[in-house]
């Protein structure tokens, strides 16, 4: 087996966590949301996010993001609201129905973190988190500086 690049190792762990969180939602009865829709929802900021930003974050075409948001809106998970910073623009915002599902995702995130910490140990898990936070400074285009 070849040594994998660090970026691929991070992707594998991230994909594992995303799959676990998605499955936790399905087990809790959220069967009307697809994996692609859940990835889009994960990119919505608390005060709402422009569709173009959601598409960019999910690395999908704006037309695809529009179709996903349309379906999420019909299912009652998101709403489009005016952007207070630009009256011509609209934000996609979570509805109360989506907000009610967040504790399911947060609980699974906590379980994953505990499992990883049990596997790595407290010190290594702390170092991993610290290193990833530092990498975010140079890799996250949405980090407010």
From first CA to last CA, the distance across the chain in angstroms is: 40
1: Cβ contacts below 8 Å, ≥ 6 apart:
none
Helix/strand/coil (H/E/C) assignment for every residue in 35-73? HHHHHHHHCCCCCCECHHHHHHHHCCCHHHHHHHHHHHH
Residue 52 backbone dihedrals phi, psi, to 5 degrees: -65, -35
The full set of domains in the chain, from first to last, is: 6-139 (1.10.10.10)
Taking the C-alpha atoms of residue 46 and residue 13, their distance in angstroms, rounded to an integer, is 25
Residue recorded with tokens 């608390």: 46
The confidence score (pLDDT) of residue 142 equals 80
Instruction: Render each residue's pLDDT in the chain as its tens digit; 145 residues.
Output: 789 999 999 999 999 999 999 999 999 999 999 999 999 999 999 999 999 999 999 999 999 999 999 999 999 999 999 999 888 899 999 999 999 999 999 999 999 999 999 999 999 999 999 999 999 999 988 887 6
Taking the C-alpha atoms of residue 34 and residue 120, their distance in angstroms, rounded to an integer, is 32
Contact by Cβ (8 Å): 22, 35: yes
The confidence score (pLDDT) of residue 92 equals 97
The confidence score (pLDDT) of residue 87 equals 82
112: Cβ contacts below 8 Å, ≥ 6 apart:
16, 17, 20, 21
Taking the C-alpha atoms of residue 13 and residue 102, their distance in angstroms, rounded to an integer, is 21
């Amino acid at each position: 087996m070849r040594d994998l690049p660090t970026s691929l190792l991070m992707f594998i762990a991230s994909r594992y966590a995303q799959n676990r969180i998605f499955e936790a939602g399905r087990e809790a009865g959220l069967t009307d949301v697809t994996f692609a829709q859940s990835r889009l929802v994960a990119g919505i900021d608390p005060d709402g996010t422009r569709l173009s930003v959601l598409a960019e974050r999910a690395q999908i075409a704006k037309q695809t993001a529009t179709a996903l948001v349309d379906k999420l809106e019909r299912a009652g998970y998101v709403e489009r609201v005016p952007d207070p910073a630009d009256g011509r623009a609209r934000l996609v915002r979570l509805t109360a129905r989506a907000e009610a599902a967040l504790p399911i995702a947060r609980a699974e995130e906590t379980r994953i973190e505990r499992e990883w910490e049990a596997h790595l140990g407290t010190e290594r898990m702390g170092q991993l988190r610290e290193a990833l936070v530092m990498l975010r400074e140079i890799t996250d285009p949405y980090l407010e500086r």
